[in-house]
Amino acid sequence: MASAKWYVAHTYSGYENKVMTDIQKTVDNRGMHDVIQEIRVPMEEVIEMKDNQKKVVERKIYPGYVMIKMIMTDESWYVVRNTRGVTGFVGPGSSPVPLTPEEVESMGLEHTTVSLDFEVGDHMRVKYGPLEGFVGVITEIQMDKKKVRAKVSMFGRDTDVELEFNQVEALA
């Protein structure tokens, strides 16, 4: 069976939560949990000032859109497309286009956990890129950016560089 991918359904503005609830009810009623696996309206907390009072409110990150993790079949397409408030899927014409893994990650829909085999102070080698083959010492690990900072010896002097996790390998 195909794996589920994230799709984006366009809705009337203000109907996002209603659409999410209605799709969830249909999934429950029809027993489609294996096909339509997750439905989300991404939210963020924002501080608003009102009458000189700070107030934390939830705001939709993508107004007018609902994110749905599903296996695209005729039935799943039909269920989402015919939910009241849905105007269509994001994609050319009537063919929905799934989000790329990079889009899913950047939208915060799924977080991939990264296990590193190095830590600050470890010696490392650059595997590819303009600094391929250079050796250095890791000075900082930035988990949120998936990057490391390192001191690399170039032309007899230490130089600070920033590299992607996958560009670096620990030296034994």
- Look at the chain and report how many structural domains it folds into: 2
CATH of the domain at 155: 2.30.30.30
Percent of the chain with pLDDT over 70: 96
Higher pLDDT, 107 or 21: 21
For residue 55, the model assigns a pLDDT of 85
96 and 150 housed in the same domain: no
pTM: 0.63
71 and 148 housed in the same domain: no
96 and 37 housed in the same domain: yes
Burial of residue 149 (number of CB atoms within 10 Å: 0-12, 13-18, 19+): middle
pLDDT tier, 118 (very low <50, low <70, confident <90, very high otherwise): confident
Higher pLDDT, 83 or 145: 83
Q: Examine the pLDDT at 114 and tell me if it is beyond 70.
A: no
Q: Examine the pLDDT at 115 and tell me if it is beyond 70.
A: no
9 and 82 housed in the same domain: yes
Average pLDDT, the chain: 88
CATH of the domain at 64: 3.30.70.940
CA-to-CA separations, 32 to 27, 97, 107, 149, in angstroms, rounded: 5, 21, 25, 46
Higher pLDDT, 107 or 31: 31
Q: How far apart are CA 106 and CA 129, in angstroms?
A: 23
Q: How far apart are CA 91 and CA 106, in angstroms?
A: 19
Give the residue numbers spanning the domain of 66: 5-106
pLDDT tier, 109 (very low <50, low <70, confident <90, very high otherwise): confident
Q: How far apart are CA 169 and CA 90, in angstroms?
A: 39
Q: How far apart are CA 152 and CA 136, in angstroms?
A: 4
